[in-house]
Structure 1
Amino acid sequence: MARLFARTRATSRDEALVRSLYEEHGKALLAYAVRLTGDRAAAEDVVQETLVRAWRHADNLMSKEGSVRAWLFTVAKNLIVDKVRAKAARPAEVAETPAAVAVAGDHSQRVVDSMSVLAAIEGLSEEHRTVLMEIYFRDRSVAETAQELGIAPGTVKSRSHYALRALRATMAGRAALEGTPA
C-alpha cells in the first residue's frame, strides 16, 4: 500500500512537472517546432511527444544540471530529424484512386493494343512505314528524316500525313470490329 501511495504521489508530481513545463516552455517549443517542420499540426505532435518524454524522464529532468529548456528543444529537434529520416527511408505513399486503377489496368490489354498498332504499321507501304519509324520511333525531325532517307522535307511531311491517316483508319476499323472506341 505504501508503494502504491508513493507511486501515486510521484505520478501526480510528474504530471505537475509536465504542466509547468508546458506553461513555461510550450509556446516557445511550439514556435520552434513549427519553424523546423513548416506544419503546425506536425509541430503540435512534436511538442506533445517531447512532453511525454519529459514525463517519462521526470526524475532525470529534476536531478539534471543544465537547462531544462535546452533539453526540451534538443528532444524536439531529434524527434523532427527522426521523422524526416523515417519519411525519406520509405517510399512515398500514393493514394489509389479508381482512375489510377483504370490506368494501371490489365497488362494484357496493353499487349493487345501494342500488337494491334504493330500490325497496323506493318500494313502500311514501305515508304510510309519508314517515315513513321524515323520520325516517331527514332525521334528525328522532318529535316533529319529527309536527310537520312534522301528525300525532300515536303515528301517526308506528305508521307507521314498519309501514313497517320491510314493508321487511324485501320485502328478505327479494328475498334469497330471489336466493339471498342478507337
Structure 2
Amino acid sequence: MYDLFVLGELMSEDKHGYILQERLQYAVGPTRKISPGTLYPLLSRFVESGWITLQFEEKKEGGRSRKLYGLTEHGRERFQELMVNPVEHNTDTELTFQFQITYFQYVTKDVQLMCLDQYLGYLHNNLKYVNSLSEMIAKKKINEKQLFQVLRMLDHRKHVLLADVGWVTEEIERIKTTKEL
C-alpha cells in the first residue's frame, strides 16, 4: 500500500524523503503514525529494486546532505502494475483506494474504472456482510438494550457503505462520460 503512495508521489517530480514522509502522514490521517523507520527502509528497497533513484544534495552550512528520490522508468512501470493489481480486501483496502484515486491522473480511463469497480465490489461485499450480520444478531437472545445498540451500530455502518456505493457509482458514470486527455 505504501508502495503505491511513494511511487505515485514521485510520478510528478523528485522529492526529498522528509517531504514524502510528511505527505504520507497527511494521507494516512491522524490515527496512524508514519515514522522514518517505516518509510526509509521502503525507499532503500525501492532504490535496490531499481524503481527509484537516490541523489545526495550538497550539505548546507552546518547541516547534512539531503536525499532526493526520483522515479525510474522501471518505477513508472511498477506504479502502473500496482494500479491494475486487484486490491486485497483487508483493513487497508479503503486507504489503498484513496491512494489510487489520488493518482488517477497518471493512468488511463480503463484503469480508473477498474479501480472503481474493484472498490465497488469490496463495498458490496461489506454491505452483504453487514446485512447478514444484522439479521443474525436480531435473532439472538441478548439483552434488549444491547441488541438495540448493536443494531444501531450496524445501521450506521450500512449507511456509510451505501453513501460510499453512491459516490463510487457516480464517479464511474462521470469517468465513463468524460473524454480521456
Same fold (TM over 0.5): no
Bigger strand fraction: 2
- RCO higher in structure (CA 8 A, sep ≥6): 2
If you compute each CA radius of gyration, which structure gives the higher value, 1 or 2? 1
Q: Give the TM-score normalised by the residue count of structure 2.
A: 0.24
